[in-house]
Amino acid sequence: MHIVDGALSNPVVIGGAVLAAGGVAMGLRALTLERIPAAGVLSASFFVASLIHVPIGPSSVHLILNGLAGLVLGWAAFPALFVGLLLQAVFFGFGGLTVLGVNAVNIALPAVLTGLLFGPMIRRGSPLSAALWAGIGGAFAIVGTTAMVAGSLALSGEEFIAAAHLVFVAHIPVMAIEGFLTAFAVLLARRVKPELFTTFAEVRT
């Protein structure tokens, strides 16, 4: 899902950098001491999951797990995912430094929205109900990220419109896989460590 350096227009790159700075600032305010261990684990999970990727034009297809990050961390998912993207760009050249802001917004903003929309259902319901909503949320996060990647490419020039369509279609299987993985992770967490989601609710209030 990373967009490579040089693929986007300057206005899109600058806009992404500004939005990413705001998102990271909001996330750091929400990142309490209790959230730091979970943020580290989820940042590392994102880092490892997206190492195996298939290049598609100016982007790539891979697992993200941003929906799970949003459900557990809320706004704190923004800096957690940003760090993962930064390390990938520095050590492996995935994405790039000039498009780091755009990639962060494309991946972290849908994560935050997933947490805001589906988090209450996960905290209130039974573990099985939580897993169902988590699966929907995990797929929703991929839909959001894919749409934002496609939009970033389309806004950068008509020559990227075909690539934008291809990126969206290529991620349809990823939506199903991410939904299943997120559902399983939340089911397990609700049974063995339900306070993960309770702490998130307390931070939001």
The answer on pLDDT for 95 being more than 80 is no
SS3 track for the chain: CCCCCCCCCHHHHHHHHHHHHHHHHHHHHHCCCCCHHHHHHHHHHHHHHCCCCEEECCEEECCCCHHHHHHHHHHHHHHHHHHHHHHHHHHHCCCCCCCHHHHHHHHHHHHHHHHHHHHHHHHHCCHHHHHHHHHHHHHHHHHHHHHHHHHHHHHCCHHHHHHHHHHHHHCHHHHHHHHHHHHHHHHHHHHHCCHHHHHHHHHHC
pLDDT (tens digit per residue) in 164-177 = 777 778 778 888 88
pLDDT (tens digit per residue) in 11-51 = 999 999 999 999 999 999 999 888 899 999 999 988 888 77
pTM: 0.86
